[in-house]
Amino acid sequence: MACTHRDLLKNAPAPGGEGCQECLASGQHWVQLRLCQTCGHVGCCDSSPGRHATAHFHATRHPVMRSFPDRKWAWCYVDEEQV
């Protein structure tokens, strides 16, 4: 199945920080970062203790996130596939 949210990769907003916003606020550490392609929220990946990028999806339903800062990889939570 082809992701129906690919267009979000074209006009993504600027990142809302240099690290996971929730980890920085709570003193946690992250493994890798993810950038929300809807609002620019920066959260940590699912290999990180906080899993804040996934939590951001569940709170907002923003479907696509991209690896950050390299932006080489993207994932759609709704379609559950790499974009």
pLDDT of residue 17: 84
pLDDT of residue 9: 87
The tens-digit pLDDT sequence of the chain (83 residues) is 688 898 888 888 889 888 999 999 999 999 999 999 999 999 999 999 999 999 999 999 999 999 999 989 999 999 999 99
Q: Which domains does the chain have, with CATH numbers?
A: 15-82 (3.30.40.10)
Q: What is the DSSP string of the chain?
A: ---TTGGGGTTPPPPS-SS-HHHHHHT---SSEEEETTT--EEE-TTSSS-HHHHHHHHH---EEEEETT---EEETTTTEE-
pLDDT of residue 1: 62
pTM of the model: 0.92
